[in-house]
Structure 1
Amino acid sequence: MASSVPGPRELPDSQYNLNTYWGRVCHSAGVSDPFMLLVTKKDLDESTALVSKYKNGEISKMTPQLWHAKKVLDSTLHPDTGNPVLLPFRMSSYVLSNLVVTVGMLTPNMGTGGVLFWHIANQSLNVAVNTANSNKSHPLTTKQLATSYTLAVTASCSVALGLNSLVPKLKSLSAHTRLVLGRLVPFAAVVSAGIVNVFLMRGEEIRKGISVFDDKTGEQLDGTSQVAAVYAVGETAISRIVNAAPVMAIPPLILVRLQRRFVMSKRVEMLSNLGLILVTSFAALPFALGLFPQRQVFDVSKLEERFARMRTSNGEHVKRVSFNRGM
C-alpha cells in the first residue's frame, strides 16, 4: 500500500469516504481493479516516487496523477512489508485466479475424483491468498502452514463428499429440489472450509497478537494485541463468506433455470456457467471487501487494558489505535 512509502506527511486514506460502506466499496473496486495487473516495475517505481514527493512535502496537494499512483501502490504492495504481493494472489487478480477453480467446483455431475481435485485446488489457492495478504506480525512456519493447509483441505473435501452422498438419499424431496440442493453443495463446502482456512492460516495472529499503532502519530506501540487480531481475522472470514455466497449460489441456480427452459449443449452450458461466474465474481468482490476497512481504527478502550496506560514518544496518552486487518 501507499502507506508503506516513508515520509513525515500522511496521504489521504482514499478519494472516497471510508467511514461509509459505499465509500469502502468504491475504494475496494479500485484495489481489486484487474487492470492493475498490467502495472509494470517502471509504473510502480514512478508511482512510488510521486507518492514519496507528496509525503515529503514536494507536492502540496493531491492530483489525479497522485490518486492513480496511490491506487497502483494500494493494489500492488503489502501494507506491512511494502513489498509487492505475488501477482496471482493480489486482490486485483482474485477473480481471475479463482475463475478456473470456481468453474471446476460448480461443474455438475462430477465424480468423487473430480470433487476432491477441485476442492483441493480451491483450498490451495485460498491458502496462498490468505498467506500473501495476511498481517505480517507473525508469519507462519512451514510446519504450521502445512498443518493448516491439510486441515482446510480435509474440511472442504469432507463437507463436499458428505453432502454429495446425502442429497440423493433425501427421497422425500422432489427431483428438482434435490437437483438444486446438489448444485449448492460446493457453496456449503467452500463457505465452511473458507472459515476454517482463514482461522487456521492466521491463527498465529490470534495466539500472539498483532502490531497496533497510535492513530494520531502512526507510532508503533509496545507489545501486540490479541483482541485486535480477533477482530482482524474474524472480519476477514466474514468478508470471504460474503464474497463466496453470491459466486457459489447465484450462477448454479440460474443455470438450473436455464436448463429447464432451454435445451443446452455441453459447450453452451460450460460457457454460460463461465459467464455467470465471471460477472457475479466481479460484481461481488468490491462489496465483500468493503464490508470492513482494511486499516481499522479503534478506541483504545476496546483493546487490552495495558494500551490505555500507554503514552506516545511525545508523552501523550494513546486514545485511538490502528492496525492492518489484512485482506
Structure 2
Amino acid sequence: MSGKAEMSTEATQTVLGFPKYPPFRLNQPRFPQETFLGRYLHYLDVIDPSTLFVSDKRLRECVQLLDDFKRGSAKASDKTLWRAQQIKQAILHPDTGEKVLPPFRMSGFVPFGWITVTGMLLPNPSWPTLLFWQWLNQSHNACVNYANRNATQPQPLSTYIGAYCAAVTAACSISAALTYLIKQSKSLPRSTQLIVQRFVPLPAVSMASAVNVLCMRWNELRTGIEVYEKGGKVVGVSKVAAKQAVSDTTKVRAFLPIPMLLAPPCIMPFLERYKWVIGSPYRHLFVNAIVCTLSFAFSLPLALALFPQESPILTSALEPEIQSKTKSDCLFYNKGL
C-alpha cells in the first residue's frame, strides 16, 4: 500500500510546472525539449555532479534495469527508472556505449574545470601565466569536446591529436593577441585599464572555445554524422546534419564564457571592500575561486539549454539520397555536448 502511495506522490510532484517524474520513456529526456526551460531542467540532470561518485556495480545495475524495461520485465517506479537512465547517460557515451572519464563528462566540467577558470581570472597575469592557463583550459575543453562528440562515424586518433594542437595553438594566439593590444593601450586612464584587464579573458575564452569545437569536430564536417527516425532507425549519414551539429555546439561554447567570466569581475570589487578578503592573497584567491565556481555552475546549464542534444532536422533540408530512404518529414541526430 505504501508503494502505491509513493508512486502516487511521485506522479503529482512538479518542477517549474513540469511533472517531476512523468511516465518513463526509454532513451528520452525526462522533460520536454521544445522549450528552453525544459531543456534547462534536462541539462541539470546531465551535469549533476552526484553521478561522478557512482560505482561500477551501481552503473551495471542501472544498465540492467533499463535492459529489463526494454524487454518489459522491469518492476520499478518511474523515479527509479529515470534515475537509472540519468546515471547511464551521464557516464556512458550515447554513440559508443563506452565510459567517459570523469574529468571529461559534462557532470565533471565544473568540478574539474573551476581551477582553470579561476586561474584565467587572476588580474594582471604575466605572459607565461596567461599562456599556461589558456593552454590548461583549452586542453580540458578539447578533451571534453572529444569525449562528448558525435561518434557515429569512427575517426583515427591522429585526427584528434592534430585537432588538439590546432585548438590549443589558436586559443593561446587569440589570448596573446588581445592581451598585447590591451597592454599597448597606454592612453587609457589607469582605472580604465584595470577594468579592461579584468575582462581580458572574456573575448579570448569565448573565441578560443568556439575555435576549439571547430578544430576538434572538423572531421565530422568531412564525413557527416548519422541521422535517424524517431524510433532510432538510422537512415543515413549526412554532412548537412553534421554542419548544423557543429554550428550549434560552437554557439554554445561561445556563449558559455559570457556569464561565467562577466560575473566575477562585477562581483569581486564589492567583496574586495572587506578587509578580510584583501588582507591575504590566499583568502582573496579563495573567495575568487568560490565566485568563479558558482558562476561556472550557473552558466553551464544555461549555455547547454540553447539547443536540444537530440536535435531535429527537416528531411527536406538533407541530401537527396537520404530523402529517398525515408517517409518521415523530420529526422534526428546527436548534436553532442
Q: Paired residue for 1:179?
A: 194
Q: 1:299 to 1:48 in 2, by over 3 A?
A: same
1-side partners of 2:206 and 2:27: how far apart? 35
2:207 pairs with one of 192, 200, 206: 192
1:6 aligned residue: none
Quote how far apart the aligned CAs of 1:290 are.
1.4
Indicate yes or no: 2:145 matched with 1:130.
yes
Would the aligned equivalents of 1:137 and 1:205 in 2 still touch at CA under 8 Å?
no
Relative contact order, CA 8 A, sep 6+: which one is greater?
A: 1
The equivalent of 2:261 in structure 1 is 248
Question: Runs (4+) of structure 1 moved beyond 4 Å?
Answer: none
Which amino acid in the other structure matches residue 229 of structure 1?
A
TM-score normalised by length of structure 1: 0.89
RMSD: 1.9
CA contact (8 A) 1:156 1:193 kept: yes
Please tell me whether residue 115 in structure 1 is matched to residue 125 in structure 2. no
Q: Distance in 2 between matches of 1:146 and 1:63?
A: 42
Structure 2 residue runs of 5 or longer lacking an equivalent are: 1-23
SS in 2 for 1:211: strand
For this pair of structures, how many residues does the alignment match?
Answer: 311
Residue-by-residue CA offset, 1:10-34 (whole Å, 9 max, x unaligned): 6161221111110110110011001
Q: 1:148 to 1:19 in 2, by over 3 A?
A: same
Counterpart selection for 2:243 from 215, 223, 230: 230
CA–CA distance in structure 2, aligned partners of residues 258 and 109 of structure 1: 18
8 A Cα contact 1:80 1:135, kept in partner: yes
- Quick one: percent identity of the two aligned structures? 36
Quick one: distance in 1 between partners of 2:154 and 2:35?
Answer: 31
Given that 2:62 and 2:85 are in contact with CA atoms closer than 8 Å, whether structure 1 keeps it comes out as yes
Q: Give the superposition deviation at 1:143.
A: 3.1
Separation in 1 of the partners of 2:127 and 2:333? 43
Shift in Å, 1:226:
0.7
The superposition leaves residues 34-79 of structure 1 with CA deviations (integer Å, 9 ceiling, x where unpaired) of 1110111111111111111111112388621111111111211111
Match of 1:324 in 2: 334
- Name the aligned partner's letter for residue 234 of structure 2: Q
Q: Give 5+ residue unaligned stretches, structure 1.
A: 1-8, 312-316
Aligned to 1:165: 180
TM-score, scaled relative to structure 2:
0.87
Q: State the distance in 2 between where 1:55 and 1:110 align.
A: 55
Contact in 2 for aligned 1:47/1:69 (Cα 8 Å): yes
Q: Give 1:123 shift.
A: 1.2
Among candidates 203, 218, 226, match of residue 218 of structure 2: 203
SS of residue in 1 equivalent to 2:256 = helix
